[in-house]
Amino acid sequence: MSAYGQKQTTQTLLDLQLKPGQRPSPPKSEEALKDIYFENLHDVFYLIFHESDSAFEALKEMEEQRLDAIENFQLPSPWKGFLQAEIKLQWAFLKLKYGEEWNTFWSLKSANKSIEENLESYPSFKLNNRTRGLLNILFGVTPDNYQWVFKLFGMKGTVRDGIKQLTETRDTNSVFGLESNIILGMIYSHLLEETEKAPEFIAQHQLSNSSLAQYFQGIILQKSHQAEKARKLWLSSANNVPFSTYLIGESYFQEGNYNESLNYFQQFLSEFDGLTYHKDALLKIALAHKFLGNSSAFENKLEEARASKANTSEIDKNAQKTIDNLENINFEMLKLRYAIDGGFFKNAVTLLSDLEQTTLNKLQLIELTYRKARMAHIQNQPRAVELYKKVIAEADMIEESYFAPNAFLQLGYLQREKSNLDMAKMYFERVLNFKKHPYKASLDSKANVALSLLDFGGD
């Protein structure tokens, strides 16, 4: 047993010492069933972190082998159906990531069927709610253009039900509880934008010091505008995750430490064979050179970023939009945006002061007001409402930027906090009226989730 009291397969997972491709032994106990599940997680995280088509092709047969091994377990157990459903759900996400969209839907249908059967056979088994909750959230946030497939398969769910079910599976000591806490932290930070609450889920768990927990806690903290804290976690715990060098580089870039950011972005590009974040890393290398006064290096790296074929992640898509619009960008304003995103408010105040003494056109003045609103909101300053309202007053002029729709979204959150639910509903609905802007998919999803929670009486 390890220092955490875990078996080797589980401990190496917690340490992010991933060993993919472990073939299952015939399970003779419930503990052996769990071992098969944790072996599967080694594959899942390896394929997410390394983004290798050849590894995916080599490993995808392991799904069926593990499901068969679990199916052949002869004793009645609630773990059997639960673990089968979880493995199917995990491989559904992998199939989506690796471009097998139709297989993704069949895996989701099969996972849904497995957990429904397990709920019927073992209704008091608490972890059933983990899979059921995740599926409910997934069905609740799926874009309209995919909803017809779920309806065809008879699958439906709501985010509200999903969060309630997931919360019931939390604990402070088991690895399964840690998984639930990680998922909840990611949902609260990335979908609900409850950035103060989001880090609490992992922090309250006994395994919060494990490398696995710290990697995801870093992602949650960065989303919560605490990039410096996030960086400390990644530097101490995520050496085996290729994405960590990109994330550390991003935190230094937000801080304005451009030389250090260059080191990490270049390390990421040299070590990572996948495409995710590739375009964005190249763009930020170019911008770092620009901010350091290296104009020729800026132009060279900008051309590389332009030519990069990375175009699937929202981050890389937005990098392309930044490249396309570069001639209209105020670079000092761009520095301000990144400083606020990372929570480097001392730097942001200096940049704000400098910009206020600069001649800006009408659009740039609106953006400056938006940046002030974001900083005031993150710092819990009441003037955020007034500043957001100034932004939405200019909505017609900036309808193709994300400033107005996100200002409406944030005003909705602020009104919800004050229990002004009718006003919050109006603001959330206005987000959906914007037809074309860089973050439409994610902002519409957040607005729809917020509306669904309001419709059921709030959260």
Between the alpha carbon of residue 304 and those of residues 264, 267, 299, 309, the distances in Å are 17, 16, 9, 10
- Are both 285 and 216 inside the same structural domain? no
Residue in this structure with the two tokens 């290096």, named with its chain if needed: 297
- Are both 268 and 135 inside the same structural domain? no
* More confident position, 121 or 147: 121
Residue of 237, 305, 258, 274 lying closest to 98 (CA atoms): 274
And the tokens for 410? Answer: 């944030």
Count Cβ atoms below 10 Å from residue 80 Cβ, excluding itself: 22
Residue in this structure with the two tokens 């969209």, named with its chain if needed: 101
- Are both 325 and 361 inside the same structural domain? yes
- Flag whether pLDDT at 148 surpasses 80: no
**To the nearest whole number, what is the mean pLDDT of the chain?**
93
Residue 3 inside a domain? The answer is no
- Are both 230 and 269 inside the same structural domain? no
Between the alpha carbon of residue 287 and those of residues 98, 227, 259, 283, 323, the distances in Å are 30, 19, 11, 6, 10
CA separation for the pair 396, 401 (Å, rounded): 10
Degrees to nearest 5, angle at CA 8 with 31 and 35: 30
Residue 314 inside a domain? The answer is yes
Residue of 77, 73, 84, 183 lying closest to 130 (CA atoms): 183
Q: What do you get for the CA distance between the two ends of the chain, in Å?
A: 41
- Are both 163 and 184 inside the same structural domain? yes
Residues with Cβ < 8 Å from 305, sequence gap 6 or more? 279, 282, 283, 285, 286, 319, 323
Given a contact cutoff of 8 angstroms between Cβ atoms, the answer to whether 52 and 272 are in contact is: no
Q: How many domains does the chain have?
A: 2
Given a contact cutoff of 8 angstroms between Cβ atoms, the answer to whether 141 and 161 are in contact is: no
pTM of the full predicted structure? Answer: 0.93
CA separation for the pair 112, 89 (Å, rounded): 8
Domain coverage including residue 335: 255-455
Residue percentage of the chain with pLDDT more than 90:
83
- Are both 266 and 208 inside the same structural domain? no
Question: Per residue in 54-91, pLDDT tens?
Answer: 999 999 999 999 999 999 999 999 999 999 999 999 99
- Are both 238 and 263 inside the same structural domain? no
Question: Per residue in 298-310, pLDDT tens?
Answer: 999 999 999 999 8
- Are both 225 and 296 inside the same structural domain? no
Residue 150 inside a domain? The answer is yes
Given a contact cutoff of 8 angstroms between Cβ atoms, the answer to whether 421 and 427 are in contact is: no
- Are both 261 and 355 inside the same structural domain? yes
